[in-house]
Amino acid sequence: MGSVLGRLVTDLGERSTYDAASQCSRCGYCEQACPTYVATGRESRSGRGRNQLVRRVLEGGPSGSPELREALSTCLLCGACTSACYARVPTADIVLEGRRMLGAAPRWVERLLSFVILRPGLLDRALKLAFLFKKAGLSRLASKTGFLSLLGLEWLAVADVHVDEAPSEFLVDKLRTMPSSERPAWFYLASCGPNYLFPRVGLATFKALSSLRGPGRLVASPCCGLVCYNYGDVGAARELSRRVIERWEAEAARVEGGGELPVVVDCSSCAAHMKSYPQLNLDDAGWRRRAELFAGRVRDVVEVYAECPLPPAGLPGTVTYHESCRCRHGQGIVDAPRSVLRAVAAERFVEMPDSDACCGGAGAFAFSHQELSDALLRRKVGNIASVQARWVAASATSCLIQLARGLKNYYPDAKVLHLSEIVAAAVSEREEEKGNTS
């Protein structure tokens, strides 16, 4: 058995994993909300089915069957089942505990992944090399040699295949060259997605929030640990959570009232994970308190925009919104991004059907379960096309990668943008207008 959390923070309080799974009454309300159940019609691919499987393992039942592993590995961890469940059973966390108990990832992959992620300098160098391959047109060679996979970085190997652009400079390097405010109104914590793959997203966040809220300040921190958490190494995930908290504490101490400032994150998956740091630190009262303080300051950028007076954006054509699972189900954010889009796009904002359905991205899911992922992606793109959208707003790195791939293949009339890019465009237009009239 691999390392597990053992105790979970649920909406009904702190519970053992077994008690959390036992709260499932098997009512089945979650089934139609579960994308993998809807796609396959199989009980073992539903929230209810997966909860029962993990519960049986915890009761000492058989744990070696390929079917059990497949049932747990096909869970998208989207959390739609929990949103639909009256008892708020935390199925995604229970599935992750099940995967850890079974040792879903080979131990060496888990160790190597943690080794690289815990050393940001090594991760930076590995990615710079991979992007150099890409720029030199040797991307296929890099993927054939399994360069990133060899480092245990399959999730980045997936991104490398699907992201056309290879940034020449990482976001944090760019931000370090910009003046840093001594009296910031907010802190910014760069997730791996904006840092390594989409620096344009982080720059848009800085542009938009600097104008709307005042100057921001970078908290240079390592990976938030979500990758280690999802791929089995709880110890490394906990270690990373503590390093992130320490960096924030040090930065906050340098600024008057710094402990009260929001810590803005522009990848919804990472924001949701950082808000759950207390769960990773339940066993240590001191760290738990520090994790609670930190988690209380973390804000998904979409929440922050909703509090700002927003100018209109002149994006031509219809804008629709894809709900990233960890925004809606992981953080319960539903209205904020919609109010932002209504403010910037007015009547050009149109809801797509099933906006909360998972796009099938989910980290390396698109790689490990291509057929299922593609079925979910095609359904999502069909819904985007049904409202004839030109722009799709999203808020998580995984969705940006997956939707860019889906739109390119099935509906090239539309493009996906991070919500920050749309707000930054509106802010730039307002500044230009002001410049022209002054």
- The contact set with ligand SF4 (CB under 6 A) reads 24-30, 33-36, 47-48, 50-51, 75-81, 84-85, 87, 89, 91-92
Nearer to ligand SF4, 244 or 333 (CB): 333
d(CA 87, CA 143): 44
Nearer to ligand SF4, 74 or 383 (CB): 74
| Smallest separation (angstroms) from ligand SF4 to the CB of 93 | 9
Query: For residue 14, what is the DSSP state?
Result: E
| Smallest separation (angstroms) from ligand SF4 to the CB of 12 | 12
| Smallest separation (angstroms) from ligand SF4 to the CB of 148 | 26
Nearer to ligand SF4, 92 or 203 (CB): 92
> Which of 142, 201, 191, 140 is closest to 167 using CA atoms?
201
| Smallest separation (angstroms) from ligand SF4 to the CB of 436 | 49
The residues that bridge with 7 in the sheet, in sequence order, are 16
| Smallest separation (angstroms) from ligand SF4 to the CB of 47 | 4
Q: How much is the CA Rg of the chain, to the nearest whole Å?
A: 21
| Smallest separation (angstroms) from ligand SF4 to the CB of 38 | 9
> Which of 285, 143, 168, 281 is closest to 225 using CA atoms?
281
Nearer to ligand SF4, 96 or 190 (CB): 96
- 153: Cβ contacts below 8 Å, ≥ 6 apart: 113, 116, 126
Phi and psi for 249 in degrees, rounded to 5?
A: -60, -45
Q: In the chain, what are the helix, strand and coil shares in percent, each to the nearest 5? A: 60, 5, 35
Nearer to ligand SF4, 162 or 369 (CB): 369
Could you give the 3-state DSSP secondary structure of residue 427? Answer: helix
Nearer to ligand SF4, 77 or 117 (CB): 77
Burial environment of residue 28 by CB neighbours within 10 A (0 to 12, 13 to 18, 19 or more): middle
| Smallest separation (angstroms) from ligand SF4 to the CB of 353 | 18
Nearer to ligand SF4, 33 or 192 (CB): 33
> Which of 400, 220, 228, 426 is closest to 315 using CA atoms?
426
**Containing H/E element for 227?**
helix 226-230
